[in-house]
């Protein structure tokens, strides 16, 4: 008889965002006609920018004619997109070769898939509160997870502890859910720790485009020595509105080796076996993000989300509620008022003012008592939500 993966028994009953979707669906079914103000999952509300739409249309036309048609794409990514990404990094002084970039169908897919590179016996370190997929993907693979708890005392940016024996380390900066961003020196400390121990950092850079403070690092490869200890996982979802289009990329330096194994070569072997590449049309759309027009347009969209963040931050300021994030990240992480627990506050907002957010407890036990707002809603909904929050909590 087939043996199922018994590690699934160790997972929570259901995934955080699935839970939220179920709860809100039930609410809407019981309150027909009600309009919810959705600031839960970080799903974008603005359409793809013109430069991307134009490129997608052109790519569709390419597929209609024999001379420009594309069949299977190269498994690790189209050269035109890999080159565009090389140039994007070069602007920040990071020198990469196209072979160090792997085009993916999205960062969340990749965060799970990349675990193929590692033996099950590795110890995983997750800095909590954390994006729950880091934990679940490793639980499914039967890996031991250690948690490094962060909090207001270290501004949700903990330092490595030399005594911790972490092999695989997840770092998300700008952070989901707290919006905290590691400074250069803080991130350098993690790079130094990883190089000293032989660990590998999985650096989730999905929110790098939201960084405003120029001194903050966008990429782990801005730090000395990162090419021998880090893999960077990037996404077009939040940067360019690709949540429903699906595209991402992963950087694995050629210098990243462990135990005589070259991680870049291993990933080539993996991708050439397990994928047939990402759609030509979508990669064309992705390349347009890096054009001059594309960059201008995606930053205009990001500014709209940043204005949403300001509206929510002003509301919390007015109420005197503690929060962080919102400035260099599209999430605001607030303390639940009146000593409420995360899910209690979720229900309270849903029932009383039809505002949906994400309970902090869903990002780990230390997130209990906190709550996350996404700033990806429409400006109208965000303003209305801020108004209702102020009225409810004043
Ligand atoms: C979030 O809300 O945390 C993100 O949208 C989830 C994701 O990127 O998959």
| Assembly ipTM | 0.93
**Mean pLDDT computed over 144-162:** 95
| DSSP annotation of 114 | G
Instruction: Tell which residue, 227, 246, 205, 180, has the closest CA to residue 43.
Output: 246
Give the number of other CB atoms < 10 A from CB of residue 32: 6
For residue 139, the tally of other CB atoms under 10 A from its CB is 18
Which of 175, 135, 133 lies closest to 155, judged by CA? 175
Residues with CB under 6 A from ligand 1: 41-43, 108, 131, 176, 237, 374
Q: Residue 133 — very low, low, confident or very high, per pLDDT cuts 50/70/90?
A: very high
> Rounded to whole angstroms, how far apart are CA atoms 66 and 3?
47
pLDDT at 15: 84
The residue to mutate among 18, 40, 42, having the most atoms of ligand 1 within 8 angstroms of its beta carbon, is 42
Mean per-residue pLDDT over the chain, rounded? 97
Q: Which of 15, 41, 135, 170 to mutate to test the pocket of ligand 1 (most atoms within 8 A of CB)?
A: 41
Identify the structural domains of the chain with CATH numbers, from first to last: 6-48+295-393 (3.90.1150.10), 50-293 (3.40.640.10)
| pLDDT of the residue at 42 | 93
Ligand 1 centroid to 23 CA: how many Å?
17
Q: Which residues pair with 158 in a beta bridge?
A: none
Tokens standing for residue 226: 């990162």
Give the span between the Cα atoms of 276 and 221, in whole angstroms: 28
Per-residue pLDDT of 90-121, as tens digits, reads 999 999 999 999 999 999 999 999 999 999 99
- Percent of the chain at pLDDT exceeding 90: 98
Q: What is this structure's pTM?
A: 0.97
Residues contributing to the annotated binding site for pyridoxal 5'-phosphate: 72, 131, 176, 207, 235-237, 246, 276
What is the per-residue burial (b if ≥16 Cβ within 10 Å, else e) of 305-339?
Answer: bbebbebbbebbeeeeeebbbbbbbbbbbbbbbee
pLDDT digits (tens, 9 = 90+) for 49-98: 999 999 999 999 999 999 999 999 999 999 999 999 999 999 999 999 99
């Amino acid at each position: 008889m087939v043996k199922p993966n018994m590690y699934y028994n160790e997972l929570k009953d259901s995934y955080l965002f699935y839970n939220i979707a179920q709860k809100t669906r039930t609410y809407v079914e019981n309150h027909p006609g009600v309009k919810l103000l959705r600031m839960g999952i970080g799903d974008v509300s603005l359409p793809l920018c013109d430069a991307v739409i134009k490129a997608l249309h052109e790519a569709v036309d390419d597929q209609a004619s024999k001379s420009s048609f594309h069949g299977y794409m190269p498994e690790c990514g189209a050269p035109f997109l890999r080159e565009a990404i090389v140039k994007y990094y070069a602007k920040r002084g990071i020198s990469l070769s196209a072979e160090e970039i792997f085009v993916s169908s999205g960062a969340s897919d990749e965060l799970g898939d990349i675990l193929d590179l590692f033996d099950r016996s590795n110890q995983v370190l997750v800095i909590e509160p954390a994006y729950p997929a880091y934990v679940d993907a490793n639980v499914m693979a039967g890996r031991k997870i250690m948690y490094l708890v962060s909090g207001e005392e270290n501004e949700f940016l903990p330092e490595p502890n030399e005594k911790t024996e972490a092999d695989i380390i997840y770092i998300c900066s700008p952070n989901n859910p707290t919006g905290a961003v590691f400074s250069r020196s803080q991130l350098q400390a993690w790079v130094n720790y990883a190089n000293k121990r032989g660990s590998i950092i999985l650096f989730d850079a999905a929110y790098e485009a939201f960084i405003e403070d120029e001194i903050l690092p966008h990429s782990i490869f801005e730090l000395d020595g990162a090419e021998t200890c880090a893999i960077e996982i990037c996404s077009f979802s939040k940067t360019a509105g690709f949540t429903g289009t699906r595209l991402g990329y992963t950087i694995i330096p050629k210098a990243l080796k462990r135990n005589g194994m070259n991680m870049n070569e291993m990933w080539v072997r993996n991708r050439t076996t397990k994928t047939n590449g990402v759609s030509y049309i979508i990669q064309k759309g992705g390349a347009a993000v890096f054009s001059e027009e594309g960059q201008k347009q995606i930053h205009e969209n990001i500014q709209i989300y940043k204005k949403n963040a300001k509206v929510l931050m002003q509301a919390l300021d007015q109420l005197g509620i503690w929060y962080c994030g919102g400035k260099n990240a599209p999430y605001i992480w607030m303390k639940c008022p009146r000593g409420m627990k995360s899910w209690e506050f979720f229900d309270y907002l849903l029932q009383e003012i039809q505002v949906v957010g994400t309970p902090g407890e869903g990002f780990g036990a230390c997130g209990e008592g906190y709550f996350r707002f996404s700033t990806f809603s429409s400006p109208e909904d965000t303003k209305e939500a801020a108004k209702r929050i102020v009225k409810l909590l004043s």
